[in-house]
Amino acid sequence: MDEESYAVEGKGMMNEPMQNDAEKPYAPADLEPFGNEETAEVKYRTMKWWHCGMLMIAENVSVGILSLPSAVATLGMVPAAIMILFISALSWYTGYEIGQFKLRHPHIHSMGDAGEILMGRFGRELLGIGQLLLLIFLMASNILMFNILMNVLTNHGTCTLVFGVVGLIICFLGALPRTMDKVYVMSVISFLSVFIATIITMVSAGVESKGYIPYKATTEVGFREAFLSVTNIIFAYLAHVAYFGFMSETEDPRTFNKSLAMLQIVDTVLYLISALLIYRWVGPDVESPAILSLSPLMSKIAWGLAIPTTILSGVVLGHVACKYIYVRMFRGSDKMHSRSFLSIGTWVAICLGVWVISWVVAESIPVFNDLLSLISALFGSWFSFGLPAVFWFHMNRGQYFKNWKKTCLTIINVGVFGCACAICGLGLWVSGVAIHNDSSSSAWSCANDV
C-alpha cells in the first residue's frame, strides 16, 4: 500500500479502503476513540485544523525557545542554525508519518494504542507508560520555569518550594476543562505571551548591548558540551507525543498536515531569529533561559509577560497526560461523555495526581538545561524520531524496495531510526553526567534557582 493511501482498521474487522473524498466521513464513528458523539452530552471531536495547529504551537513554543541562545553560544552560529533547520525538517517528516499512521488506524488515541498495533499488549503498556512519563517531565519543566520566573520577579521573595506549590495549583486549575476546544483559547494566549516576551528579550538585548560583543560563527567545544546543547535544540521539537490525541479531537483528522505545517513554519522561524539575534547581542555569556541575561528591570518585564505561556503551555501538556488516563479508564463507556459526579470527579482526581507527580520531578531535578537534555534523550528521541520510523516500516511491510522512491524512503527511515538511537544513548550519558555534577546540592531546596 502506498504511503499516501490508507484504510480504516477496526478490531475484528477486515481493512476496507476509504474513499478519498473530503466531504465524506473520515471513519465510522464507532472506530474513533470517543465513539459516536451525535447525541453525546460532552463532545470531543470539535476542533478545526487551525485549533489543532495552535495547540501544537502552544505545546512546543514555550520553555524550549529560552534555552536556544545558550545552545548557539556553545555550538556557534552556523552549526546551531544548521542543526535547528535539520531538526525542524526531521520533525516535520516524522510528524507526517505519525499522521499517516493515525489515518491507517483511526482508533489510535495515544502512543500506547500505537504500541498495541506494533507489539501487542506489551507494546501498549510500554509506550503508554513512556508517553505518560514524557508528558510528566515536560510538565515538570514548566513548573521549574515558573520557579525561576517567580524568583526573578520577587527577588527570591520566599522559599522556592513555595513557588513550586503555587505553580502546581495554578496549572492544576487550568487543566480542569475536559475538552480540547476549551484548552484552545488558552493556547492562543500562551503563544501571544511567549511571542511578545521573545520580542521584548530580543529588543532589550540589542538596546542594552554596549560596545563590541564577541560572537563566533563556529566554536571549539568538547563533545559532551556540544551534544548537551544539541539535546536542548531537540527539546524545542518534542510535540510529537501529543499528535495522536490532538488528531482524535479534530473534526477531520485528514487536515492534520495543515496543522503540522502551521506548527513547523511558526516555530522554526521563531527559533532561528530569536536564538541567533539574542546570541549576537548578548554574546558567549548568554544564560539559559535567555531572559536572565537582561538587565534586572527588563528581565522582570519579560518574565512578567512570559507568565501566561509558562503556565498555559504546561496546562496543554497536562491535559494530554490526563486525557490519556481518562480515555484508558472510560473508553467505550458513556461515562466519558457525561457530566455525572463520577465522570467529573474522576477527571479532577486524575489531574491532581498527575500534576503532583510532575511537581515532585521538578523539585528533584532543578537545573533547567539538565532537565531539558534528560527529557530529550530518554523520551523525545523515540516518540519524536524513532517510533515514527517504525510506523513507516509497519505501514510499508513488503514494499521497502518496490521502486526507487520506496528504496530512498527506506534508507531515510533507517537513518531516522539511527538518529533516535544516537540521541538516546549519547544524550543519556551527557545529561546524566550534568545532573550528577550540578543538581545534587539544590534538589528540594529553598535556594534561589536563578
Average pLDDT, the chain: 84
From the centroid of its chain, how far is CA 375? 10
User: What pLDDT is stored for residue 165 in this prediction?
Assistant: 92
Residues 6 or more apart whose CB falls under 8 angstroms from that of 294 comprise 201, 204, 205, 208, 302
What are the two backbone dihedrals, phi and then psi, of residue 16, each rounded to the nearest 5 degrees? -125, 130
Query: 7 falls in which pLDDT band (50, 70, 90)?
Result: very low
In a domain, 446, yes or no: no
SS3 17: strand
User: What pLDDT is stored for residue 321 in this prediction?
Assistant: 93
Domain that holds residue 324: 41-438
User: Distance between CA 62 and CA 81 in Å, rounded?
Assistant: 19
Which one, of 365, 373, 84, lies nearest residue 228 by Cα?
Answer: 373
% of the chain surpassing 90 pLDDT? 42
User: Distance between CA 283 and CA 276 in Å, rounded?
Assistant: 10
User: Distance between CA 10 and CA 29 in Å, rounded?
Assistant: 11
Label residue 118 exposed, middle or buried (CB < 10 Å: 0-12, 13-18, 19+). Answer: middle
User: Distance between CA 62 and CA 55 in Å, rounded?
Assistant: 12
Q: Which three cell numbers stand for residue 72?
A: 548557539
Residues 6 or more apart whose CB falls under 8 angstroms from that of 12 comprise none
Pairing type for strands 16-17 and 7-8 reads antiparallel
What are the two backbone dihedrals, phi and then psi, of residue 68, each rounded to the nearest 5 degrees? -70, -40
> How many domains does one find in the chain?
1
User: What pLDDT is stored for residue 367 in this prediction?
Assistant: 66
The model's pLDDT over 421-446, given as tens digits with 9 standing for 90+, comes to 998 888 888 777 877 776 555 667 78
Which one, of 200, 191, 262, lies nearest residue 49 by Cα?
Answer: 262
Q: Which three cell numbers stand for residue 450?
A: 536563578
Alpha-carbon dihedral of residues 427, 431, 432, 438, nearest 10 degrees?
A: 170
Q: Which three cell numbers stand for residue 20?
A: 478519498
Single-letter residue type at 282 = V
Tell me the angle at which helices 68-75 and 256-282 cross, rounded to the nearest 10 degrees. 60
In a domain, 83, yes or no: yes
Query: 166 falls in which pLDDT band (50, 70, 90)?
Result: very high
Q: Using the predicted structure, report yes or no on whether residue 227 has a pLDDT greater than 80.
A: yes
User: What pLDDT is stored for residue 10 in this prediction?
Assistant: 40
In a domain, 2, yes or no: no
User: Distance between CA 249 and CA 33 in Å, rounded?
Assistant: 9
User: Distance between CA 10 and CA 106 in Å, rounded?
Assistant: 8
The model's pLDDT over 103-136, given as tens digits with 9 standing for 90+, comes to 999 989 999 999 999 999 999 999 999 899 888 8
Pick the range with the lowest mean pLDDT from 12-16, 180-184, 196-200, 328-332: 12-16
175 contacts 318 by C-beta, under 8 angstroms: yes
User: Distance between CA 132 and CA 324 in Å, rounded?
Assistant: 8
In a domain, 47, yes or no: yes
| CATH (domain of 263) | 1.10.4160.10
In a domain, 85, yes or no: yes
Going 431 to 436 to 441 to 445, the CA torsion angle's sign is positive
* Mean pLDDT on 332-348: 87
* Mean pLDDT on 201-210: 88
User: Distance between CA 251 and CA 311 in Å, rounded?
Assistant: 27
In a domain, 84, yes or no: yes
The model's pLDDT over 12-60, given as tens digits with 9 standing for 90+, comes to 333 333 333 334 445 555 567 776 677 677 888 889 999 999 989 988 8
The model's pLDDT over 383-435, given as tens digits with 9 standing for 90+, comes to 999 999 999 999 999 899 989 999 999 999 999 999 999 988 888 887 778 77
In a domain, 337, yes or no: yes
Radius of gyration of the chain (CA): 22
User: Distance between CA 372 and CA 229 in Å, rounded?
Assistant: 10
Query: 182 falls in which pLDDT band (50, 70, 90)?
Result: confident
The model's pLDDT over 60-73, given as tens digits with 9 standing for 90+, comes to 887 568 789 999 99
- In order of 12, 136, 314, 379, 448, the CA distances from 317 in angstroms are 33, 8, 5, 15, 26
In a domain, 423, yes or no: yes
* Residue of 380 and 405 predicted with greater confidence: 405
User: What pLDDT is stored for residue 26 in this prediction?
Assistant: 52
